[in-house]
Structure 1
Amino acid sequence: MNDSAREELARRIAGEITLSDDPGATLRKWRTDFDVSQTELAEQLGVSSSVVSDYESGRRESPGIGVVQRTVAALLDIDEARGGDRLRQYARVLSAGFESDIVHDLREYPTPVSLEEFYDAMDATEIHRGDRDRIYGHTVINSIQAITRLSSEEFYRLYGQSTNRALVFTDVTRGESPLVALRVVTPTPNAVVLHGIEEEDLWDHAAELARVDGFSLATSTRDINGCLDTLRDL
């Protein structure tokens, strides 16, 4: 990850923490998102783990901008020391022009991946098998944020470098909105996974829409962070 991308990500994280109504909770969100324990973060900062705990719980006065900036830098340093997976993930999202609360991950694969491999990573249940059985990347999207905030042109950019990919929509209740939204985007993805619902909760017309548009459709209720961790290994 280049310095400018790291600086942009650090600025965004620090700004979100500083402007939050609950800075401690927002700090905890980013720490857990980077899969860093309180102990690891405390060691990187040179403080006791109780200090980190106190900030996150609100027992200690909200951290000032200096503390926030040092904490964000520590999270990024830890990730870089591990190989920089989280940094690269956010860099891809930022370079595509999206906020991280809209797009959780945007990734291209070095070689094609079968739908079976992808479904295994998502612990997904297939509802309909489409015309294509391989994908070349994935995009994991917050369905509510994408539908309410993205234009049709921005929606198309979710495809990244290849339209032959899987789109995963999180925070789904029935699946109607994302599937209808896809109808205005051409071409369609190879596969769509609706995350957060069981098969029996799916919109009645979902499978038929997938059949008409030719993409595979599946559902998944696996923990989204676990999904993202497994997808990074594809």
Structure 2
Amino acid sequence: MGGRGPRRELAEKIAGEITLSDDPGATLRKWRTDFDVSQTDLAAELEVSSSVISDYESGRRTSPGIGVIRRLVEGLLTIDEHRGGDRIRQYGRVLSAGFESDVVYDLREYATSIPLSRLYGEVGATEIAAGDTDSVSGHTVINSIQAITRLSSEEFFRLYGQSTNRVLVFTDVTRGESPLVALRVVNPTPNAVILHGLEADELWNHAGDLARIDGYSLAVTTTDLDEVLESLIDLE
């Protein structure tokens, strides 16, 4: 599957997940969707009919063997490379920071600082409390439940990447209480926090107060997570 590095690591991860899944077709579909690749595009890359991909994903064909799985995975990664390699690089950044991709979805540093107002506009976020600074130079997108249950305080701090001058985006949030309380035990705090998946009126009633006390901007968004990730990738 090519040389060492993120591409091979990612190929092995995807192939392993599909092979070990109770529903290999659904797992293949999940990864194809994550890569934003249509059945038609994947079929064209592999020089098969799109019905072949459809049959594997629906379970109409018997579970694919490891040889077929390797071809399918290779097709996804090759398409990503032809598009610029964003998904492979995204995985590589998370991997190099020492995280699993189900805890941290993306971790990125920007070449220049970006105004928070622009970032919020791009991801459809509504600011709840203003912070002490109005720009960021990186972002980390985190599954809040996985981060809180699995990360130590030291690992939590590593979410900041190269700088705390960034926005932390917490997904799978119901009220926002848990991630904001968790942030209180990690110093220093980020410039901004976005809670993904809830409206302003669903937010924990002390959330804005905590943000103001600690000096970071707090915002919420209900924009689809894939759209948020795409918007953050396209920021620069």
Normalised TM-score (structure 2): 0.97
Alignment-derived partner of residue 195 in structure 1: 196
Alignment-derived partner of residue 218 in structure 1: 219
What is the alpha-carbon distance in structure 2 between the residues aligned to residue 40 and residue 121 of structure 1? Answer: 28
Alignment-derived partner of residue 100 in structure 2: 99
Alignment-derived partner of residue 9 in structure 1: 10
Q: C-alpha deviations, 1:110-150, integer Å up to 9, x for none?
A: 11000001101110010000101110000011111111111
Q: How does 1:30-45 map to 2 (within 5 A)?
A: 30-45=31-46
What is the alpha-carbon distance in structure 2 between the residues aligned to residue 112 and residue 52 of structure 1? Answer: 42
Are the aligned partners of 2:6 and 2:89 in contact in 1 as well (CA < 8 Å)? no
Alignment-derived partner of residue 89 in structure 1: 90
Say whether 1:48 aligns with 2:49: yes
RMSD over aligned Cα atoms: 1.2
* 1:124/1:187 CA distance change after superposition, 3 Å: same
Alignment-derived partner of residue 118 in structure 2: 117
Alignment-derived partner of residue 128 in structure 1: 129
Letter in 2 for 1:115: L
- State the SS of the aligned residue for 1:159: coil
What is the alpha-carbon distance in structure 1 between the residues aligned to residue 66 and residue 149 of structure 2? Answer: 31
Letter in 2 for 1:74: G
- State the SS of the aligned residue for 2:219: strand
Q: How does 1:47-196 map to 2 (within 5 A)?
A: 47-196=48-197
- State the SS of the aligned residue for 1:185: coil
Alignment-derived partner of residue 28 in structure 1: 29
What is the alpha-carbon distance in structure 2 between the residues aligned to residue 2 and residue 45 of structure 1? Answer: 21
- Structure 2 gap ranges (5+): none
Q: C-alpha deviations, 1:58-113, integer Å up to 9, x for none?
A: 11111111111111111111111111111111110111111111111111111100
What is the alpha-carbon distance in structure 2 between the residues aligned to residue 80 and residue 91 of structure 1? Answer: 13
- State the SS of the aligned residue for 2:111: strand
- Structure 1 gap ranges (5+): none
What is the alpha-carbon distance in structure 1 between the residues aligned to residue 3 and residue 158 of structure 2? Answer: 22
Q: 125-134 or 19-28: which moved more?
A: 19-28
Alignment-derived partner of residue 208 in structure 2: 207
Are the aligned partners of 2:138 and 2:165 in contact in 1 as well (CA < 8 Å)? yes
What is the alpha-carbon distance in structure 1 between the residues aligned to residue 131 and residue 155 of structure 2? Answer: 25
Q: 1-10 or 147-156: which moved more?
A: 1-10
Letter in 1 for 2:140: T
What is the alpha-carbon distance in structure 1 between the residues aligned to residue 5 and residue 126 of structure 2? Answer: 40
Query: What is the number of equivalent residue pairs in this alignment?
Result: 234
What is the alpha-carbon distance in structure 1 between the residues aligned to residue 83 and residue 57 of structure 2? Answer: 24
